[in-house]
Amino acid sequence: MKILFVSSEVFPFSKTGGLADVAGALPAELTKLGHEVKVVTPRYKGLPSEATLPNSKTKVYFIENDDLYARDGLYQQAGVDYEDNAQRFIYFSRATLELCKRLDWKPDVIHCNDWQTGLIPVYLKSIYATDPFFHGIRSIYTIHNLAYQGVFPKETLELTGLSWDYFTMDRVEFWGKLNFMKSGLVFADMITTVSEQYSREIQTEEYGCGLEGVLQGRHHDLFGIINGVDYKVFSPDKDPMIAKPYTLKTLEKKNDNKKALLKQVGLPTKRGAALIGMISRLADQKGFDLVAEMIEALMVQNVQLVILGTGDPKYHTLLQALEVKYPKQLKAVLAFDAKLAQQIYAGSDFFLMPSQYEPCGLGQLISLKYGTIPIVRETGGLADTITDFDLAKDFEHELGNGFVFLDYSAQELLRTILRALVVYKDEKAWSKIRHNAMRCDFSWKASAKKYEALYRK
């Protein structure tokens, strides 16, 4: 099949979150399965105009328009969205379709991702529907995070080239505004999201962000496929970014990575202390309010915390204050730093992800591979990938690969970390859970086959 994969970010060229990881890995995996795959993305500052994905012959095309894309951020600067984001991604969507024509390359399927590409399925069924070149092209739309919908004032419709007939509540309108995500959900031939649990959750009022009705209406065309991890990038045995490579058999070397990490971030080595890592966008979604609420109670334990992230200024302020308060126990690096991220995955004992909601989550999957035990809230992809380790059970047969709590509360989070610390101190149980974690296989292969099956459908 011929597949066009459209994404507003693609690792290693551009990245703000998990979408980039998916766009950098899934197309390469589909190429391996024998498909002809092309990737399209904006040409942000400093990017080439054509490239291939690393270690793959998958071609990446960059849509160039320096006025729109050659900026320091992808979508925003200093926490504020660019005011012309609608224009930027309308242009991107139309240019993507025009590109197919210029290349005289007709895909069987156009795979769109998140709100930035939500208008493509609409265009295929409106403006471009009369052009024979586009006949028979199907679209699939993947929700990576339903909370970011690309909602713009009504007048924005003028920029899209669509007629006002489209501005109705069963099409692209959302409470008097233009909603890109909704547009994709209504017009795509098929919809996917990045875990089965999230595909169910988003049909409820609690998680549906106002689009639960639209999703319920399309539940026959809605599928959940868990993301994979690119183990070429994230594997402790061949990660060039970390102090000492290690495997399941040489797990003692993980401790050298812990020492190196503590040194790197300027924390003292404390005997017997468990090191908890967090790598995350600093957003309400990620549960930092819970961390703030229980931090005092946590800090009386023998633990240290390294947090890497950027985002909402209110969390920058909060983390800076905590760092001053607990200089020997807590370090917050407020930056986007891929190398340090890998050092944290390798050097930490635990990885904390107490998300309010989590479509898939990659942090916990990467952590597993590094033998770093996830402590997560039971939601979305976290619920689908992390199984609670119960010390009370006969743990020889225990499959648990992390620690899980359900109630979104600081108390539950604290209780779960304390439970994790008991296992940490129990040599046998600790060895068992780390083995369970490192043996998990979340490579892309299985998920790519599921996408392939949907494309065929």
**Residue 374 binds to ligand ADP (criterion: CB under 6 A):** no
**Residue 17 binds to ligand ADP (criterion: CB under 6 A):** yes
**Residue 224 binds to ligand ADP (criterion: CB under 6 A):** no
The residue with tokens 């291939």 is 52
Shortest distance, CB of residue 106 to ligand ADP, whole angstroms?
Answer: 31
Q: Which of 139, 257, 280, 348 binds ligand ADP (CB under 6 A)?
A: 280
**Residue 93 binds to ligand ADP (criterion: CB under 6 A):** no
Q: Which of 281, 316, 415, 450 binds ligand ADP (CB under 6 A)?
A: 281
**Residue 279 binds to ligand ADP (criterion: CB under 6 A):** yes
| Segment lying near ligand ADP (by CB under 6 A), choices 29-37, 50-58, 278-286, 287-295 | 278-286
Shortest distance, CB of residue 337 to ligand ADP, whole angstroms?
Answer: 5
**Residue 27 binds to ligand ADP (criterion: CB under 6 A):** no
**Residue 14 binds to ligand ADP (criterion: CB under 6 A):** no
**Residue 284 binds to ligand ADP (criterion: CB under 6 A):** no
**How far is Cα 161 from Cα 159, in angstroms, rounded to an integer?**
6
∠ CA 261-262-267, nearest 5°, is 150
Shortest distance, CB of residue 421 to ligand ADP, whole angstroms?
Answer: 24
**How far is Cα 111 from Cα 217, in angstroms, rounded to an integer?**
21
Shortest distance, CB of residue 175 to ligand ADP, whole angstroms?
Answer: 25
Shortest distance, CB of residue 56 to ligand ADP, whole angstroms?
Answer: 19
Shortest distance, CB of residue 66 to ligand ADP, whole angstroms?
Answer: 26
**Residue 241 binds to ligand ADP (criterion: CB under 6 A):** no
> What mask of x and - would describe binding to ligand ADP in positions 303 to 322, judged by CB under 6 A?
-----xxx------------
Which residue lies nearest ligand ADP, judged by its C-beta?
18
- Count of residues that interact with ligand ADP, criterion CB under 6 A: 18
Q: By CB under 6 A, what part of segment 171-210 binds ligand ADP?
A: none
| Segment lying near ligand ADP (by CB under 6 A), choices 56-64, 132-140, 171-179, 334-342 | 334-342
> What mask of x and - would describe binding to ligand ADP in positions 41 to 70, judged by CB under 6 A?
------------------------------
Choice between 118 and 228, CB closer to ligand ADP: 228
> What mask of x and - would describe binding to ligand ADP in positions 138 to 177, judged by CB under 6 A?
-------x--------------------------------
Query: Taking each helix axis from N to C terminus, what angle separates 18-32 and 444-456, rounded to the nearest 10 degrees?
Result: 70
Long-range contacts (CB closer than 8 Å, 24 or more residues apart) made by 448-451: 448/26, 448/29, 448/30, 448/32, 448/33, 448/228, 449/33, 450/223, 450/225, 451/26, 451/30, 451/111, 451/192, 451/225
Q: By CB under 6 A, what part of segment 346-365 binds ligand ADP?
A: 360-363
**Residues of this chain that bind ligand ADP (CB under 6 A):** 17-18, 21, 145, 279-281, 308-310, 336-338, 341, 360-363
